[in-house]
Amino acid sequence: MAPDYLLAWLLPLAAGAGAVRLAQGRAPWQGATSAALGTGWIVGVFVAATIAGLTGREATRDAFPGAWPWLAGIAVVAWAFVAWRARTVPRARGADISAAASSSVRIAWWLLLALVMLRFGLLAWEASLRPVFPWDAWSAWAVKPKTWMLLGHAEPFIDFAAWLDGAPGHTTATWNYPELLAWIEVWFASAAGGWNEPLVDLAWCGALAAFALAAYGYWRGSGVRALPAMVLVYALVSLPLLDAHVALAGYADLWIAVTLGLAALAWSRWLVQREQAQWWLALVLAACLPAIKLEGAVWLALFAVVMVLERIPLRWRLTIVGALAFAFVGGIATGGFSMPVPGLGWVGLAWGRIAIPGMPPFELRWHAVGEATLASLFALPNWHLLWYALPALVLWRRRALRDDPAARMLGLLVLVQLLVLFVLFFFTMAAAWAQDYTSANRLVLQIVPCVFVFAAALLRGAGRQASASR
């Protein structure tokens, strides 16, 4: 492996993990190192791509050489502050199996860890076997970075009409797509010495592995026991559709899912421990969503609304929600209104109609796609038993859902996300995506990590309560 390509993986890890470690506060907690490494790699890659986009536009092949000193500087400064702060802070406990765990629990934990590592090895091997393969990956998401790398510089992409009029630049059907993912690909391609798609595709495996590492750390830190936490990690990384997005790399949906899931993990830490830095980390991660894909703006808006709602005192929530609902219905009834959505612009809302800039209007009417949707979730080999297990888990842990504010807020987040998907599939032209089994599952995939964060919140302290009752 070329040294530059190896550094392209390690430098984001060093810089991002240092920054996230600072956001974890002074008091150590179980799983903090795992959470910092996993979250930090994603944060570091985003920072690396941003710096590459600023310094490498004139010479994309030099994007890595121009950006890595900045990343190294961030890593040195961040870890210097971490080391300075650690002088007065006690060491954290280990984040793996408790010393009190039985031998059978230890064996099961190590077996699951081996299976997780084996799966990532197979996924990385599969991703490295071929160039970008899925149609939407090479026709949409790989167009910009491949063009920039082959040209040697970044030229603008413009709409088709402007291109026909002779405006400088290139055109494609996806000319207005966000460019953060494109610069992530340029970062790895530049480090690899050229446009090498198998080496670029390995970043998708890194994204899922980073989330798995972060999730385990956050779940252990929130009170989930070691074996249930590892079971959740294995259940997540073994989902067929998620694995397909890693092995057949190139889509942006996995990056949306991972980033939204990391935001939910950081927010869950705030909900349990009230660490202010984690609340801001969650907001920063969520703010990256529109830079990855257009629908990231919708997930950002929903996430921000639930985050703000949680900060409102309980006695005021019903009043504020009622006032907003009254204003919303009133605005619709009087002819509609527009509201700004980051990443999308001014979105128009009227009775039976949603207008998003740059897209055909969404006409709201009922579409009978229930059979296809249920088959996709419950019958086809996409999700194993996830959508069977989730209602069963909620029913089993209904007392925790009732008594734990963190579980309730995370449940509200997932419920709002599911309701938006329900409206999208059953009331808009996106019903065609569910009917022909295409993009519908990709949108569901984007919220699956949040579903697992909610599941972990329900399992928090489950084993301890059972042990105490015996």
Over residues 187-220, the pLDDT tens digits come to 999 999 999 999 999 999 999 999 999 999 999 9
What SS3 string covers 74-118?
Answer: HHHHHHHHHHHHHCCCCCCCCCCCCCCCCHHHHHHHHHHHHHHHH
Q: C-alpha 311: how far from its chain's center?
A: 23
pLDDT of residue 81: 92
**pLDDT (0 to 100) of residue 71:** 96
Find the length of the chain.
470
- Which string of DSSP letters, residue by residue, matches 41-67? HHHHHHHHHHHHHHHSSS-GGGHHHHH
φ/ψ bin of 359: left (φ > 0), alpha (ψ from -120 to 50), beta (otherwise): beta
**CB-count exposure of residue 34 (10 Å: 0-12, 13-18, 19+):** buried
Q: 3-state class of 154 per DSSP?
A: coil
Q: How far apart are CA 54 and CA 183, in angstroms?
A: 10
Q: Beta-carbon neighbour count of residue 249 at 10 Å? A: 28
The pTM for the full model equals: 0.92
The DSSP result for 388-450, as a single string, is HHHHHHHHHTHHHHHH-HHHHHHHHHHHHHHHHHHHHHHHSTTHHHHHTTSHHHHHHHHHHHH
User: Residue 302 in contact with residue 417, Cβ under 8 Å?
Assistant: yes
User: Are 12 and 188 spatial neighbours (Cβ–Cβ below 8 Å)?
Assistant: no
Tens digit of pLDDT for each residue in 30-41? 899 999 999 999
* 3-state SS track over 270-286: HHHHCCHHHHHHHHHHH
Give the 3-state secondary structure percentages of the chain, helix then strand then coil, rounded to 5: 70, 5, 25
Which H or E run contains 145?
A: helix 143-151
* pLDDT value of position 466: 42
Which neighbouring-strand residues pair with 134?
none
Q: What is the pLDDT of residue 100?
A: 59
266, 285 Cβ separation under 8 angstroms = yes
* Rounded Cα distance, 259 and 450, in Å: 10
- Strand partners for 362: 354
pLDDT of residue 464: 57
- Residue by residue, DSSP assigns 237-262 as HT-HHHHHHHHT---SHHHHHHHHHH
- Of 407, 95, 120, the closest CA to residue 226 belongs to 95
Query: pLDDT value at position 318?
Result: 78
**Cα–Cα distance, 430 to 166 (Å, whole number):** 34
Token output for 329? 């219905």
274, 27 in Cβ contact below 8 A?
Answer: no
The burial of 134, by beta-carbon neighbours within 10 Å (0-12 exposed, 13-18 middle, 19 or more buried), is given as middle
Q: Is 315 exposed, middle or buried (0-12, 13-18, 19+ CB in 10 A)?
A: exposed
**Vertex 234: Cα angle to 231 and 237 (nearest 5):** 150
Angle formed by the axes of helices 103-127 and 240-247, nearest 10°: 40
Token representation of residue 112: 């699951």
Looking at residue 218, its pLDDT comes to: 97
Which segments of the chain have a pLDDT < 50? 94-95, 465-470
Yes or no: say if 252 and 293 are a contact pair by the CB < 8 Å rule. yes
In 288-404, which residue ranges form alpha helices assigned H by DSSP? 296-311, 314-333, 370-374, 386-396, 398-403
Nearest to residue 272, comparing CAs of 449, 57, 31? 31
Nearest partner of 94 among 39, 38, 28, 41, judged by Cα: 28
Confidence (pLDDT) at 467? 43
Neighbours of 466 (CB within 10 A): 9
